[in-house]
Structure formats: C-alpha cells, structure tokens
Structure 1
Amino acid sequence: MISRLDVTDKALEVINTLEAQHGPLMFYQAGGCCEGTQPQCFEKGGFFPRMNDVLLGHIKDFEFWIDRDLFEYWQYSHFTLDVLDGFGPGGFSLETPLGKTFKVHYRLFSTEELADLEPVKRNE
C-alpha cells in the first residue's frame, strides 16, 4: 500500500525534540481561517478532530489529522511534512517557541499509486 504521508529528516528532528519536551504528539491540518492550512502540532489529545475529519496517516506513532473539506481538495495528493525556520501565522503549534514552523509539500499521486493507496479513517 502507498502511504499518503511522509516526513523530512529535518522535520523528524524537530518532532523528536518536541516529543522529548511534551511526550506523545498529534498533528492537525485545518482547511483555513486563523492558521490557514499550516499543519499544527499539539500534545496528544490537545486538539479534537471534528466529525468526518480524516486520519491521513502517522508520523512515528503520532496521528496526522486533516480537515474533512481540505481532504476533499487534496485527496489525490501525497503530503510530505517539512519544517522551516521562522514563525508561521499564529503560533498555536508546539514548534513555534523553537523558531520553526511546519509546512506540507504536496505532489499528485501517479495513476499506479492511486490504485494502491492506504485507506483513510474518518473521525466518527
């Protein structure tokens, strides 16, 4: 099965730092408004996905949720979580005090990949 989600080594270093500081983590990527579509990192249980939001995959053992409407738009795309120096909009995410901000790079799946994608789980 083809994964819908990957992480860069740079982002994984930040995630390991955050895990050491905060324990288990989770990610949520909203569909707009206050934080735009910037992925947010929280302590596990620090954010509650809405009904029908999508569990896109895992980074380490940490859930990566995406807004249900955003998934409808990006469902044919692979997500790669990366990290940049600087502050993203807002600052609710755990990496902000480190002077970092998470970012997702997208690419469309090939026809072959689409035929063998990992299924997603929706929040009930």
Structure 2
Amino acid sequence: MQIMTQRLSVTEKASALIRGLAEKHGDLLFYQAGGCCEGTQPQCFEKGSFYPRMNDALIGRVEGYEFWVDRDLFEYWKHAHFTLDVVDGFGPGGFSLESPLGKTFKIHYRLFSDEELRDLAPVERMD
C-alpha cells in the first residue's frame, strides 16, 4: 500500500503547545477561516465550542485533533501543503486558546510538487 502525500504537518514547537492546551482544555479542534476579524490565522478551540460550516475541508489532524479549513480558503490553497507553527505574540483574532499565553498559531504554505499532487490524500467535507 502506497502512503499518500499529507496536506498538513506540525512543527515540534506547535505540537508541544497543543499537548499543553489539550491537557488544560481536553479535546481540541482547529479551524482556519478565510478572512474577516481573525484574518487567516488558524484558531484552536475546545471541541464542541465551534462547528465547521457546510463544505468546509478537513485537511488532516494535528496531535490527533481535526484541522478544518474554510471552504473558500481551501479552494485557493488546495495545491499547497500547510505546516502549523506557533510564534510569540498576540494574533489578530484573540479567540484562539493559545492567545492568553501570548502565542499565536501560524501557517507556513508551500506548493506541492507535481509528484505530490498526483498522490494527495483526499479531504473530508462537512455535510
């Protein structure tokens, strides 16, 4: 069985923060919106306190927790790999669980190679 190209990865620094947030808050959910007050900064919520919209894309999991992307933003970035990272500072949203810790989740994008595009893992869509 061939391993498919994943759409999402996470830095060790972000993984460590996610583990700490899960210890404090329980199950988590990540969502990256397409703009407005939170910009395109990924947001981390307690699972059940935020619900993806119809046709939003589940592009993978970080530390076992779902990472959803706004349907329109995904259409724009569907040819790119997402790497979840964390930086010091207060992001534009402030609703994300890492904000009180003076941290902000951030995405680094890179375009997939032609070979990776041929073998991309499928996304799940919210019904």
Structure-2-length-normalised TM-score: 0.96
2:106 is the counterpart of 1:103: yes
2:97 is the counterpart of 1:94: yes
- Cα distance, 1:38 vs structure 2: 0.3
2:5 is the counterpart of 1:7: no
The amino acid across from 1:48 in the alignment is Y
What is the match of residue 83 of structure 1? Answer: 86
- Cα distance, 1:45 vs structure 2: 1.3
Identity over the aligned pairs, expressed in percent? 71
What is the match of residue 112 of structure 1? Answer: 115
Where structure 2 has 5 or more consecutive residues not aligned to the other structure, the ranges are: none
Following the alignment from structure 2 to structure 1, what is the Cα–Cα distance between the partners of residues 19 and 63? Answer: 9
SS in 2 for 1:79: strand
Where structure 1 has 5 or more consecutive residues not aligned to the other structure, the ranges are: none
2:40 is the counterpart of 1:37: yes
SS in 2 for 1:6: strand
Following the alignment from structure 1 to structure 2, what is the Cα–Cα distance between the partners of residues 29 and 8? Answer: 17
**RMSD, matched Cα:** 0.5
Following the alignment from structure 1 to structure 2, what is the Cα–Cα distance between the partners of residues 60 and 7? Answer: 9
What is the match of residue 124 of structure 2? Answer: 121
SS in 2 for 1:63: strand
For these two proteins, the number of residue pairs brought into alignment is 124
Following the alignment from structure 2 to structure 1, what is the Cα–Cα distance between the partners of residues 55 and 40? Answer: 17
Structure-1-length-normalised TM-score: 0.99
Following the alignment from structure 2 to structure 1, what is the Cα–Cα distance between the partners of residues 112 and 89? Answer: 30
The amino acid across from 2:43 in the alignment is Q
